[in-house]
């Protein structure tokens, strides 16, 4: 799937293949569990090239299962990462309207006391939100 006329940075169709996103000492690894068509887009600096628009780092799309994963790899600014995920979703919402949205936030360290548990629950409910420190692996 193309986003705003941009070709994907990477496409996987091989069962078991890992799709890796790395930045800021953080790493997200998606495993292509079923050999579906999965495309990887670099958002920050590629889809959105300006230095003004707040956005997340990567978008992975499972074209067969209609799942879209917005991925932010952050230092320690947990709240900023959430804001970037939300903003990116709003910017790409028309193109992702047929997809289930999943937010993924990987940080090197964070204090969850800065965000209320009710906010996290809402993110999990609306966007299948998951967060982890330093590295996350999951089947998609």
pLDDT in tens, 3-34: 766 778 889 999 999 999 999 899 999 999 99
The pLDDT value recorded for residue 1 is 66
Regions of the chain with pLDDT less than 70? 1-2, 4-5, 110-116
The pLDDT value recorded for residue 112 is 56
Give phi and psi for 126, each to the nearest 5.
Answer: -80, -40
DSSP secondary structure, 121-139, as one string:
HHHHHHH--EEEESEEEEE
C-alpha distances out from residue 58 to 21, 71, 93, Å: 7, 5, 15
The pLDDT value recorded for residue 24 is 84
The pLDDT value recorded for residue 111 is 60
The pLDDT value recorded for residue 118 is 83
> Rounded CA gap, 8 and 3, in Å?
8
The pLDDT value recorded for residue 115 is 64
Residue 35, helix vs strand vs coil: coil
pTM of the model: 0.90
């Amino acid at each position: 799937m193309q986003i705003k006329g941009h070709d994907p940075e990477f496409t996987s169709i091989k069962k078991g293949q890992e799709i890796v996103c790395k930045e800021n000492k953080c790493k997200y690894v998606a495993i292509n569990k079923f050999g579906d068509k999965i495309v990887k887009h670099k958002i920050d600096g590629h889809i959105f090239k300006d230095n003004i628009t707040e956005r997340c780092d990567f978008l992975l799309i499972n074209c067969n299962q209609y799942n879209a994963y917005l991925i932010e790899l952050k230092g320690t600014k947990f709240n900023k990462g959430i804001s970037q995920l939300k903003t990116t979703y709003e910017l790409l919402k028309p193109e992702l309207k047929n997809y289930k949205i999943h937010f993924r936030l990987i940080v090197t360290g964070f204090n969850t006391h800065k965000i209320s548990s009710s906010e996290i629950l809402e993110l999990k409910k609306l966007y299948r939100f998951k967060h982890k420190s330093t590295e996350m692996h999951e089947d998609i």
